[in-house]
Structure 1
Amino acid sequence: MRTRLEHLEQQAARTQQRANLARQQRQHWELLSKAIDDPELAEVLDLYERPVTPERRRQYLFANALYTNLLCYYRIGNMGRDEFLKHVRGMFQNPIVREYWYATQHQRASLTGTEEAELGQLVDDLLLQLDEADTDEWWVVGEPPSGP
């Protein structure tokens, strides 16, 4: 009975964590949407190393929303690392998304020791492999990740 109760408590905690992540994701999107729609608000989020045009800033914010959404799907358990990698591989075929990634590299540098940092490193490694690949078949480039 005690084991069953502990299992149910753990399951409830995981469910609550997923709900919290979903709420956070929704709030993140609402804030990004405001910034995408209002150039004055978007300036608050302009933390890039080089100046960018308002149009490019909006595109970067949208790229951030796409990546954050993918990250959230992974974190709540809707996909594993292999599927995360497949989605990232496709998403980063877009040159603006890649440009966004490189422009925000210094922001990710402070995320050491976190799951988000680990996934960011996975993306960095994949981009390096894509840049070094001698094939146009981008969908097959990249070492499968090890771990969960």
Structure 2
Amino acid sequence: MTATKRRRRPGWSLIRAFLWTSAVAALAGAIVLAGLGLVAKLEGDEAATTWAVWGSIGESFGVLNTIFSGFACAALVVTFWMQFHELKGQRVELASQRESLSLTQAELHRSTEANLRRLHVDLQKIALDDPDLAEVWPIYGTDAPLKRRRQYIYANLILQHIRLQWSISVYSDDEVRGALRYVFRSPLMRDFWKTTARARNSVLVPGGSEFMFARLAGEICDEYEAVLEQANLWRSGSSNDQPANEWEQLKPETLTDVA
């Protein structure tokens, strides 16, 4: 048996129903012709019981009428049954087409988003290459040193890369959390995130994918800050509790404050 079923040709069930109906009609015609032939034969006989035979023939045709009615009813049942299965198959086919269309639309959406992200990366690359253009981006502030502005642009590219992997389902939620925990170990990444918080909150729409990613990143950044504060207390001897939770595999001395 092949992996995929061969599709039936459209209307094949209707053709079969027509053939069944034609066969029943042909059988009925043959019975009628046989009865007419019997009548013709009896007309040629000069037996005294002709009228009695005619009466028997009439009764026989009454039985034939009943049989024909049964055949007609059976033909209708078969036709309706085939049409029902034909419509059922069409509904299944339409459902499959709708599912395929939905998957195609989702794939096109992801592809379009990836292309837009690529354009965003290109714009920021231009800012990295040209210090004058880097000052155009308002979220970094023109009063920041050139080196810091370039670092912020690069930090934004890193976060956008992680977000893209998440939005196109390359990264799961847990993998995104792991990636964010890794990058937020950098003091510059945390500094960038806190510096751009006001501008970010002013443009993000609640409920959107950008908003959800920003909220997740904010949770991870705040989580690291809390662990960092606990590590500082541990270093100073004010607390004997070492950092726990998801950061417990990190040694306190490896936790670094904002540069």
Q: Work out whether the TM-score is over 0.5.
A: yes
Unaligned segments of structure 1, at least 5 residues: 143-148
SS at match of 1:84: helix
1:129 equivalent in structure 2: 223
2:205 pairs, out of 88, 112, 129, with 112
**Match for residue 247 of structure 2?**
141
SS in 2 for 1:44: coil
- C-alpha distance in structure 1 between counterparts of 2:193 and 2:173, whole Å: 19
Which protein is bigger by CA-based radius of gyration? Answer: 2
Q: How does 1:26-41 map to 2 (within 5 A)?
A: 26-41=118-133
Corresponding position of 1:145:
none
* Contact 1:89 1:139 (8 Å CA) reproduced: no
Residues 49-60 of structure 1: matches in 2 within 5 Å?
A: 51-60=143-152
Greater helix content? 2
Superposition misfits of 4+ residues, deviation over 6 angstroms? 136-139
Offset, 1:48: 3.3
1:139/1:62 Cα in 2 relative to 1: closer, same or farther (>3 Å)? farther
Higher relative contact order (CA 8 A, sep 6+): 1
CA offsets, 1:56-82, max 9 Å, x none?
Answer: 000000000010111111111111111
Cα distance in 2, alignment partners of residues 81 and 57 from structure 1: 30
CA contact (8 A) 1:74 1:80 kept: yes
Partners of 1:91 and 1:97 within 8 A in 2: yes
Q: Is the 8 A contact 2:140 2:149 kept in 1?
A: no
Q: 2-side partners of 1:129 and 1:121: how far apart?
A: 12
For 2:222, the aligned partner's letter is: L
Counterpart residue number, 2:180:
88
- Structure 2: how far apart are the matches of 1:65 and 1:94? 14
CA distance in 2, matches of 1:128, 1:137: 14
TM-score when scaled to structure 1?
0.87
**Identity in percent:** 25
TM-score, length-scaled by structure 2? 0.51
Could you list the per-position Cα deviations for residues 78-106 of structure 1 after superposition, in whole angstroms to 9, with x for gaps in the alignment? Answer: 11111111000000111111111111101
- CA distance in 2: counterparts of 1:105 and 1:50, whole angstroms: 16
- Deviation at residue 46 of structure 1 after TM alignment: 3.4
